[in-house]
Homo-oligomer: A and B are copies of this chain.
Amino acid sequence: MDDFAIAKQCRDTMYDGDAALQLLDISVEVTATGCAEARFEVRRDMINGHGVCHGGCLFMLADTAFAYACNSYNKVTLAAGASIEFLRAAKLGDQIIAIATERHRGRRSGFYDVVVSNQDGEEIALFRGRSHSTQDPLFT
């Protein structure tokens, strides 16, 4: 298997057990080793008390892109920490995309930047995730 085939197999392995994706109707693809994209539409039940998309839902989208990006090497890799900056509100019906790219990958820890944008290409949030990888394979 080449690297990209491994990355896609990792995605499929995780996807099957990932109940949380259904919760927000998130779709996710790996686009290369270390890179992934996740999408959702802002539904009525993602709206918070201020009438806009809950920041936690945006985090979850970004975190998903991050998780699939850092798990594309066939090593079980966990989110160790993350930060997010909210730039603009997301509104009901918006089509949101989170694009994760790898910034650094060391022996155990990695750093991934995720940009969250809406259908007009406006940036909604910036996310930076830190991963910790184990030596266990995701699939054999």
Interfacial residues, chain A to chain B (CB-CB below 8 A): 13-20, 22-24, 44-51, 54-57, 59-61, 63-64, 67, 71, 76, 78-87, 103-104, 106, 109, 111, 113, 123, 126, 128, 130
Contacts and interface: CB of A to CB of B under 8 A. Distances in A.
Contact of A86 (B46, B48, B60, B81): B81
A63 B59 contact: yes
Contact of A60 (B49, B57, B80): B57
24 contacts: A13-B49, A16-B49, A17-B48, A18-B49, A19-B48, A20-B45, A20-B46, A20-B47, A20-B57, A23-B23, A50-B78, A55-B67, A56-B60, A56-B61, A59-B59, A59-B60, A79-B86, A80-B85, A81-B83, A81-B130, A87-B104, A113-B113, A126-B128, A128-B128
Contacts of A18: 47-49, 54
Nearest to A14: B49
Nearest to A115: B103
B23 A45 contact: yes
Most chain B beta-carbon neighbours within 10 Å: one of A23, A51, A54, A61: A54
A99 to B, nearest CB: 14
Given A20-B48, A104-B126, 17 more contacts: A14-B48, A17-B47, A18-B48, A19-B45, A19-B46, A20-B57, A23-B23, A23-B24, A23-B46, A50-B76, A56-B60, A59-B82, A80-B86, A82-B83, A85-B104, A85-B130, A128-B128
